[in-house]
Amino acid sequence: MSEHIVSPKIYLVIFASLMLGTGITVWAAFQDFGKFNIVIALVIATIKATLVVLYFMHARYSPRRTQMVIVCSVFWLAIMLALTLTDYDTRSPRETRLAPSAVSHLLRA
Protein backbone atom coordinates (compact mmCIF):
# COMPACT_ATOMS: atom_id res chain seq x y z
CA MET A 1 0.00 0.00 0.00
CA SER A 2 1.54 3.27 -1.05
CA GLU A 3 0.66 6.86 -0.21
CA HIS A 4 -2.12 8.39 -2.29
CA ILE A 5 -1.12 11.72 -3.83
CA VAL A 6 -4.06 14.00 -4.65
CA SER A 7 -3.37 15.91 -7.86
CA PRO A 8 -3.45 19.74 -8.07
CA LYS A 9 -6.27 19.41 -10.61
CA ILE A 10 -8.57 17.92 -7.96
CA TYR A 11 -7.53 20.62 -5.48
CA LEU A 12 -8.44 23.32 -8.01
CA VAL A 13 -11.83 21.75 -8.74
CA ILE A 14 -12.57 21.58 -4.99
CA PHE A 15 -11.42 25.19 -4.57
CA ALA A 16 -13.72 26.30 -7.40
CA SER A 17 -16.64 24.41 -5.82
CA LEU A 18 -15.96 26.07 -2.45
CA MET A 19 -15.96 29.50 -4.12
CA LEU A 20 -19.22 28.66 -5.86
CA GLY A 21 -20.71 27.53 -2.52
CA THR A 22 -19.63 30.82 -0.90
CA GLY A 23 -21.26 32.77 -3.73
CA ILE A 24 -24.52 30.81 -3.48
CA THR A 25 -24.69 31.15 0.30
CA VAL A 26 -24.26 34.96 0.11
CA TRP A 27 -26.89 35.18 -2.66
CA ALA A 28 -29.34 32.92 -0.79
CA ALA A 29 -28.97 34.99 2.39
CA PHE A 30 -30.61 37.97 0.66
CA GLN A 31 -33.60 35.96 -0.63
CA ASP A 32 -36.52 35.48 1.72
CA PHE A 33 -37.05 31.75 2.20
CA GLY A 34 -38.68 32.29 5.59
CA LYS A 35 -37.71 29.54 8.01
CA PHE A 36 -35.55 27.86 5.40
CA ASN A 37 -32.85 30.55 5.15
CA ILE A 38 -31.01 29.00 8.07
CA VAL A 39 -31.49 25.48 6.70
CA ILE A 40 -30.10 26.46 3.28
CA ALA A 41 -27.13 28.25 4.89
CA LEU A 42 -26.29 25.21 7.03
CA VAL A 43 -26.71 22.71 4.17
CA ILE A 44 -24.32 24.72 1.95
CA ALA A 45 -21.83 25.07 4.83
CA THR A 46 -21.98 21.33 5.46
CA ILE A 47 -21.41 20.51 1.79
CA LYS A 48 -18.38 22.86 1.79
CA ALA A 49 -17.03 21.34 5.03
CA THR A 50 -17.47 17.83 3.60
CA LEU A 51 -15.50 18.74 0.47
CA VAL A 52 -12.68 20.15 2.63
CA VAL A 53 -12.59 17.02 4.81
CA LEU A 54 -12.76 14.54 1.91
CA TYR A 55 -10.24 16.16 -0.44
CA PHE A 56 -8.12 18.86 1.25
CA MET A 57 -7.80 16.70 4.37
CA HIS A 58 -7.50 13.48 2.33
CA ALA A 59 -10.21 11.69 4.34
CA ARG A 60 -11.39 9.94 1.19
CA TYR A 61 -7.97 8.34 0.76
CA SER A 62 -7.33 7.67 4.46
CA PRO A 63 -7.43 4.25 6.13
CA ARG A 64 -10.75 3.09 7.56
CA ARG A 65 -9.43 3.66 11.09
CA THR A 66 -9.01 7.40 10.44
CA GLN A 67 -12.37 7.62 8.70
CA MET A 68 -14.01 6.04 11.73
CA VAL A 69 -12.49 8.69 14.01
CA ILE A 70 -13.91 11.43 11.76
CA VAL A 71 -17.38 9.86 11.72
CA CYS A 72 -17.22 9.50 15.52
CA SER A 73 -16.55 13.22 15.96
CA VAL A 74 -19.61 14.10 13.88
CA PHE A 75 -21.65 11.51 15.79
CA TRP A 76 -20.72 12.90 19.23
CA LEU A 77 -21.33 16.45 18.02
CA ALA A 78 -24.77 15.35 16.81
CA ILE A 79 -25.55 13.86 20.24
CA MET A 80 -24.56 17.10 21.97
CA LEU A 81 -26.59 19.30 19.61
CA ALA A 82 -29.64 17.06 19.31
CA LEU A 83 -30.14 16.23 22.98
CA THR A 84 -29.60 19.81 24.16
CA LEU A 85 -31.89 21.32 21.53
CA THR A 86 -34.54 18.66 22.22
CA ASP A 87 -34.45 19.71 25.84
CA TYR A 88 -34.92 23.39 24.98
CA ASP A 89 -37.61 22.61 22.41
CA THR A 90 -39.80 20.55 24.73
CA ARG A 91 -40.02 23.09 27.52
CA SER A 92 -42.79 25.68 27.73
CA PRO A 93 -41.85 29.08 26.24
CA ARG A 94 -41.68 30.67 29.68
CA GLU A 95 -39.17 28.17 30.95
CA THR A 96 -37.07 28.47 27.81
CA ARG A 97 -36.61 32.15 28.53
CA LEU A 98 -35.94 31.63 32.22
CA ALA A 99 -32.19 31.15 32.19
CA PRO A 100 -31.35 33.80 29.55
CA SER A 101 -33.61 36.39 31.25
CA ALA A 102 -31.60 35.94 34.42
CA VAL A 103 -28.57 36.87 32.34
CA SER A 104 -30.26 39.95 30.88
CA HIS A 105 -30.74 41.34 34.38
CA LEU A 106 -27.01 41.17 34.89
CA LEU A 107 -26.32 42.80 31.54
CA ARG A 108 -28.77 45.67 31.87
CA ALA A 109 -26.79 48.84 32.55
Partner 1 sequence: MHRTGELYGQFETLEQQKETAALGMWVFLVTEVLFFGGMFLTYTINRRAFSTAFGIGSNTLDIKLGAGNTVVLILSSLTMAMAVWSAQVGKKKLVSIFLIATLGLGTVFLGVKAIEYKQKFDHHLIPGRSFDMKYHPAHPMPGDDLEELDKEKQDVDKAFAVDPDINAHGQLYFSLYFGMTGLHALHMIIGAGLLLWLIKASFAGRFTPQYNTPVEVVGLYWHFVDIVWIYLFPLLYLIDRHR
End-to-end CA distance of the chain: 65
* Pick from 71, 26, 18, 19: nearest CA to 48: 18
Which amino acid appears at position 75 of this protein? Answer: F
- Enumerate residues 19-48 that contact partner 1 by CB under 8 A: 19, 22, 25-26, 29-33, 37-38, 41-42, 44-45, 48
Using alpha carbons only, what angle is made at residue 98 by residues 41 and 100, rounded to the nearest 5 degrees? 50
Contacting positions for partner 1 (CB under 8 A): 1-3, 5-8, 11-12, 14-15, 18-19, 22, 25-26, 29-33, 37-38, 41-42, 44-45, 48-49, 52-53, 55-58, 62-63, 65-66, 69-70, 72-74, 76-77, 80-81, 84-85, 88, 96-97, 100, 103-104, 107-109
